[in-house]
Amino acid sequence: MRPFSPSDAAVLLAVHRHGTTVEASRRLHLTQSAISKIIARSEASLGVAVFERKDGRLILKPQAVSLMAALAPVEEEWRSLRATATRLRAGQETPLRIASTPSIGQGLIARALRRLTQDYPLARVELIMGDPPSELSRGTADLGLMFSPRVTDDIALTPLVSGSIIALVRQDDPLAARSRARLEDLRDRRLICFDREKSPLGWLIAQAHERRGLDYAPVMTVPYSISAAHLMSERGDVSLVDSLLPQAQRFDGLIQLAIEPEIKITVCLMALRSRPLPRLASQFVKIMQDTNASTEQS
């Protein structure tokens, strides 16, 4: 014999409230015969006769009054459990937390999230503009996206998208008439760029300078490419930024130049090896990988 279940309790309560199997079946979207079978099965399982028929209605028997009072909390707890499960499936209960830099967040992540919310319209997402490895290690992020990160062994890296470092100059700069610039051309410019110790991009740019016998000495260091672009105020200022930034945001009055030699960078997806990915995070990873595969094939 099948044990008494919360769904059986819901049927008994519906019959008690509405008085007939016809009305209970309408409310619960079950057939009348299914309601009758559940009543009989429940009475057999509980060992208690619950209803008696009187004037065409099902009336609660005296010995089942306390039983029905005990079933009401069961129904409420079952409803709460089902609602929680629904929110979990929809990604609503636990937010997807992604740590990233602005140019990745406004470009790659924004496109992937648009696809994610088509499948999970109630999903909650938290974008964190911080240091992704630190956010992952602290447990404040489920995923991280970053350019060419230097990380510890407990963080798994998945390369996603390749890019390069480009130069931004003002429209009135003599270099603006070119399509590319050598690092030597920027030797005497006010360079606004990344710190070599605090930023993986800064370290790559510094290495490229040193291979050419050049000093890497920015007049101003910034955490993000977007900050460098906004801080260009004087004629002769140059910013070295990631190539994804102009794809994510337009900068009036600034010209993009390719850099020689090319400084290649890679957007990497990061996750802790020791922590299983939540459902939404796994789906987001799949979308990012599918998007990258489609881009490489086109």
- Amino acid at position 134, single letter: S
Half-sphere exposure of 64 (CA within 13 A, CB side): 21
CATH 3.40.50.1220 fits 96-158+267-297, yes or no: no
User: Any residues with CB less than 8 A from the CB of 233 and at least 6 apart, and which?
Assistant: none
pLDDT digit of tens for each residue in the chain (298 aa)?
A: 677 787 888 888 888 888 898 998 988 889 999 999 999 988 888 888 888 888 889 988 888 888 878 777 766 766 665 655 555 555 455 688 999 988 888 788 888 888 888 888 878 888 898 889 999 988 899 999 999 887 778 999 999 889 999 999 999 999 999 999 999 999 989 999 999 998 999 999 999 999 999 999 999 999 888 888 889 888 889 999 999 888 878 888 899 999 999 999 999 999 999 988 888 899 999 998 887 665 555 4
Chain Cα centroid distance, residue 174: 43
Domains of the chain by residue range? 6-89, 96-158+267-297, 163-265
- pLDDT at res. 69: 80
Architecture of the domain spanning 6-89 = Orthogonal Bundle (1.10)
Task: Name the pairing type of β-strands 264-272 and 220-222.
Answer: unpaired
163-265 under CATH 3.40.50.300, yes or no: no
Query: Identity (one letter) of the amino acid at 44?
Result: A
